[in-house]
Homo-oligomer: A and B are copies of this chain.
């Protein structure tokens, strides 16, 4: 039949689809086996256990997320790149809510270091080259952007912005403008 590893990858991909359908936190061996039309115990030849399954889905999602971001910033700079990068992140979250939740799954340090997470982080740094930040401030700015994108999408998906005006869409644009402005006028360190 197929080579070793191919089947495992298929299982993980099905797990990612399942996450988008029913939510990442509800992805379990039994639920995935049901979707695949096999017995639960049969999954254990492809995946070590429930935690391993979730970890693999998380790694897949991080990879996809980094790919999207990479495509988004290619050939752009400044506000344009900032918007494209941020939108890639947010759009992915809405198109693949389960995978997006998977991308936020807590990985142990070693696994995280080997994931596409650092790649995403390097892209954020590349994005900032379009702005003229004091070198020491660059890391702070990277962390700020990560925090905003992360936090905004999480709150938005939780519905925090959906029951009051103005629209979340509008806030998102204004916030990107504000961040662009801030990056152009980053305050000198007080220390």
Interface residues of A in 139-158 (CB under 8 A from B): 139-141, 143-144, 146-152, 154-155, 158
Instruction: Indicate whether A74 reaches chain B with its CB closer than 8 angstroms.
Output: no
Cβ contact within 8 Å between B144 and A148: yes
Cβ contact within 8 Å between A106 and B158: yes
Interface segment, one of A3-11, A38-46, A169-177: A169-177
Taking the closest CB of chain B, its distance from the CB of A73, in whole angstroms, is 20
- How far does the alpha carbon of A149 sit from the alpha carbon of B166 in the complex, in Å? 21
Main secondary structure of the interface of A (DSSP, over half): helix
Cβ contact within 8 Å between A139 and B190: no
Cβ contact within 8 Å between B181 and A185: yes
Instruction: Indicate whether A37 reaches chain B with its CB closer than 8 angstroms.
Output: no
Interface size of A by CB at 8 A reads 47
Taking the closest CB of chain B, its distance from the CB of A89, in whole angstroms, is 11
Cβ contact within 8 Å between B189 and A139: no
Instruction: Indicate whether A187 reaches chain B with its CB closer than 8 angstroms.
Output: yes
Residues of B near A113 (CB, < 8 A) are 163
Taking the closest CB of chain B, its distance from the CB of A166, in whole angstroms, is 6
Cβ contact within 8 Å between B147 and A151: yes
Q: Which residues of A contact B (CB under 8 A)?
A: 104, 106, 109, 112-113, 117, 136-137, 139-141, 143-144, 146-152, 154-155, 158-161, 163-166, 168, 170-171, 173-175, 177-178, 180-182, 185-187, 189-191
